[in-house]
Structure 1
């Protein structure tokens, strides 16, 4: 299925039988380059937390007490998110007060489409990239610690994630698409709502 530009869909992360993250996103394009989505600062998003307020970065799902999706406001940045067809990653463009502030590469499984959005599974490792294409790893320790855990990655899966990350680093350093300046001058349509809200049923569907 192809999502029509302008439509609001939800982008979700799943782990096992649990939804761990939900964002409402505006579709900008859905073509051979991928699904391009917009999420402005102040919009809703929901993430899995436990009774003590701990997130998945702090504790594995199986150790969470009374896990629930907690809705809060996305802070600091507007983001574009590109999910290339069949790719095991997404690329995020960060904007602060309208100015491009860098990229973020999220390693994740290729997305699965559903009628009202897309689902993927976070693969823990991320790459933070400055506008000058200087980069650093994020959450490499989390990937190492959780490799072998039945809810996360086995050794072969972790090795595949690292290999894909190394390929993306080479692309970043070479300034290849999408790290070639594409979308860095993006400005949202002034007629769009300033914030996106999660649709009814988004946390239970």
Structure 2
């Protein structure tokens, strides 16, 4: 099942049988290279938040007392997201007012397609790659704290996640796709705009 250009889909993170983050996105393309999505700045998303305001960056899922998916606007930049088939990561191109800001590598389980989009499980550790292809790990402390947690990953799975990140870093260091300048001048269709979550999406 492939999605059509211009179609609005939902990208979800799941963990422990529940949805932890939801983003609506517009399909740019869907082919053998992967699913390519566009999220416009200000689009409505929803993230799992505890009653005291803490998120999964602050505590593990089972440490939340009364978590709910809270709607909020997507951060102050646009994002182009590529999910290569079977890959343990997605690559994000960030733009601010049309100017390319750099890449973000989100380490995650290979995406699974749903009727209305895709879902994956975030692996906590990420890689930030600047326009000059200089890179840095992100959320290493949070990643280390989750190793051995039953809702997250054991040491072997954590090592596999880091190895996947190292493979992507190697691509960045030599300027290979997707870090070869592809899409850095991307401009969305003028008809694509900020999205809101479809009714009921944030509570599934």
Structure 2 equivalent of residue 135 of structure 1: 135
Unaligned 5+ segments in structure 1 are none
Deviation at 1:201, TM superposition (A): 1.5
SS at match of 1:187: coil
Aligned match of 2:24 = 24
Give the C-alpha shift of residue 204 in structure 1: 2.8
21-30 vs 195-204, which deviates more?
Answer: 195-204
Aligned equivalent of 1:67: 67
SS in 2 for 1:87: coil
Partner residue of 2:108?
Answer: 108
Give the TM-score normalised by the residue count of structure 1: 0.98
Give runs of aligned pairs for residues 49-88 of structure 1, distance below 5 A: 49-88=49-88
Q: What are the within-5 Å matches in structure 2 for residues 37-48 of structure 1?
A: 37-48=37-48
The two structures have a TM-score, normalised by structure 2, of: 0.98
Distance 1:75 1:161 in 2: 26
Aligned residue number for residue 201 of structure 1: 200
1:203, distance to aligned residue in structure 2 (A): 1.6
Helix, strand or coil at the partner of 1:151: coil
1:48-100, Cα deviation, whole Å (9 max, x unpaired):
00000100000111110110000000121100000000000000000001100
Q: CA offset at residue 122 of structure 1?
A: 0.2
Any unmatched runs of 5+ in structure 2? none
Instruction: Tell me the number of residue pairs that the alignment of Structure 1 and Structure 2 aligns.
Output: 204
SS for the counterpart of 1:196 is coil
